[in-house]
Structure 1
Amino acid sequence: MAEPLLIEHAGAVRRLRMNRPQLHNAFDPGLIAALTDALLAAGADPQVRVVVLEGQGASFSAGADLQWMRGMAAASEAENRDDALALARLMRTLDELPRPTVARVHGPAFGGGVGLVACCDIAIGTPAARFGLTESRLGLLPAVISPYVIAAIGPRQARRWFASGEHFDAATAERIGLLHAVVPSEGLDAAVQRQIGLLLAAAPLAAASAKALVRRVAAGGDGAVLDADNAALIATLRVSPEGQEGLAAFLGKRAPAWAAPRQPE
């Protein structure tokens, strides 16, 4: 049986490719576990600076596997809760991964597949990409992925798409914030590679910490505490080895050490 997930190492880039093309990369417990483990490993590997998530075959991900759904329909409420928590752990691991992430969306993404796109820091798709949060058609809701989809597209858009279950195209996905860019299919790899290049040109610690900063600021809270935390963060970064190298390189009009050309391994 083929592995549900293919992992490729290319220098500082880790590519995770869902590998259930005959089922449009639909989720089952095996794929969920493989993705979670691979993300945890990437986040713990200091050599990894960028993670790319993609799908094999015609689709990015069709969401839940029908056989899996059939089995869970016959399971108890407690078993369904445990099953949903495994998917929730995958989504949170991806969303909070201490590495920048790029979704390469070459084809349809539905249900949990939309969740994966929303959890990535950068999402680039082609006109062939289509989307749908279709759970309401089955008497369900995209509850597990809702925090990430709402953060990506906003509450008002989420209310529409969660309730109607209708499909939408790549242009709509870009307009509402699920995709950052839509590019021709033949230009997708180049667009992804450009983003990888930009991420590798950024300081590793700064790029890896950016999402935590955004999450903390977006959560709001006491303004004085937020100001103090942000001042402490920039002070720490300025005196860190990375910050010192970045400032020295800028003042010396040279490239910082981390921006040296990298060759794929």
Structure 2
Amino acid sequence: MTLVRTRAVGRSLVLTLADPRRQNALSAEMVAAIERALDAAPKDLAALAVEGEGGAFSAGADLKALSAALTTPAVAGEADPLQALNAAGGRFFARFASLPFVTIAVVDGAAVGGGMGLAAAADIVIVTPRARFALTETSLGIPPAQIAPYLVARLGQQVARRLALTGARLDGREAAAVGLADLYCDSEAERDAALGGLLASIARCAPGANAETKRLFRACAVEPRETYVETAALSFAAALRGAEGREGLAAFAQKRPPAWAKGSA
């Protein structure tokens, strides 16, 4: 069974989670399929849009697999296998959040638990009236452990706490109102137009500059201000002296699109 499909849109890819039988749950098999798609992505990829098939974005963790894993007892003096299983999920979210290209989550159905975390880890989130977010972990007796950093980064501590500690459920409009979503689209046509417009805009940006911008945004959240000043200055100088910076300035002077934007709308 093919769990993910990809299609090219210019220098971007649309990745479709295609396991509707399990509501596109982030099973080990699904995560492995996504990882393979990421491994195969072009080096100069501009953006990756993730969507779900069958009326769901993603149901999050594979609860049947977790129940099965629970039957294996923890051995004294050894790491709990459940800990290793959860850490593997954390490494997947960390990789997704730090991808060098722009990531877009297109939520047109249920995004539950880890599915909501995957959306929160994306750079841009598009939702429709069919979007349904549910942060259900605490209602199941567990914490939203590995997705917490991405919920806090997108929503802030106050809103993330409220949603996590109440097992909140949100529709598309509510998600946009609290900042979980960036764009609310009333129809499929509006959703497709919004995604197309984003991909066209991203294609006009230099891939290396976008990757470095994402890195700097992560750095400025954790580095002391004076340290970040030097980090940013080093980044700026390297970019300006690099191939993209030189091409960008030349294209501006010559009133033409830069090389990376040729063919973009």
Instruction: Tell me whether the two structures share a fold, i.e. TM-score over 0.5.
Output: yes
The answer on 1:51 being equivalent to 2:54 is no
**Which whole-Å deviations, capped at 9, do the CAs of 1:89-134 have from their partners, x for residues lacking one?**
1101100011111111111101000111011111111111011111
1:262 Cα shift? 5.2
Residue 225 of structure 1 is matched in structure 2 by: 227
1:208 Cα shift? 2.1
Residue 76 of structure 1 is matched in structure 2 by: 73
Dislocated runs of 4+, deviation >3 Å: none
The answer on 1:199 being equivalent to 2:199 is no
AA in 2 matched with 1:97: L
- Select the residue among 94, 107, 110 that pairs with 1:108: 110
The whole-number CA distance in structure 2 between the counterparts of 1:252 and 1:6 is: 40
AA in 2 matched with 1:33: A
Contact 1:114 1:133 survives alignment (8 Å): yes
Contact 1:36 1:89 survives alignment (8 Å): no
**What's the C-alpha RMSD, in Å, of the aligned pairs?**
1.6
- Cα 1:219–1:58, aligned 2, differ >3 Å: closer, same or farther? same
Contact 1:35 1:90 survives alignment (8 Å): no
The whole-number CA distance in structure 2 between the counterparts of 1:93 and 1:41 is: 14
What SS class does the counterpart of residue 219 from structure 1 fall into? coil
The whole-number CA distance in structure 1 between the counterparts of 2:90 and 2:254 is: 46
Equivalences for residues 135-174 of structure 1 within 5 A: 135-174=137-176
What SS class does the counterpart of residue 14 from structure 2 fall into? strand
Identity of aligned residues (%): 36
1:63 Cα shift? 1.2
The whole-number CA distance in structure 2 between the counterparts of 1:80 and 1:125 is: 33
5+ residue gaps, structure 1, are none
The answer on 1:189 being equivalent to 2:192 is yes
The whole-number CA distance in structure 1 between the counterparts of 2:213 and 2:187 is: 29
The whole-number CA distance in structure 2 between the counterparts of 1:12 and 1:188 is: 20
The whole-number CA distance in structure 1 between the counterparts of 2:9 and 2:158 is: 40
The whole-number CA distance in structure 2 between the counterparts of 1:64 and 1:185 is: 28
Contact 2:247 2:258 survives alignment (8 Å): yes
1:244 Cα shift? 1.1
Residue 26 of structure 2 is matched in structure 1 by: 27
The whole-number CA distance in structure 2 between the counterparts of 1:76 and 1:157 is: 36
**Which whole-Å deviations, capped at 9, do the CAs of 1:3-28 have from their partners, x for residues lacking one?**
22222234421222111112211121
5+ residue gaps, structure 2, are 75-79
- Select the residue among 222, 245, 248 that pairs with 1:246: 248
Residue 12 of structure 1 is matched in structure 2 by: 11
**Which whole-Å deviations, capped at 9, do the CAs of 1:19-40 have from their partners, x for residues lacking one?**
1112211121101121123223
The whole-number CA distance in structure 1 between the counterparts of 2:168 and 2:162 is: 9
Paired residues, number? 259
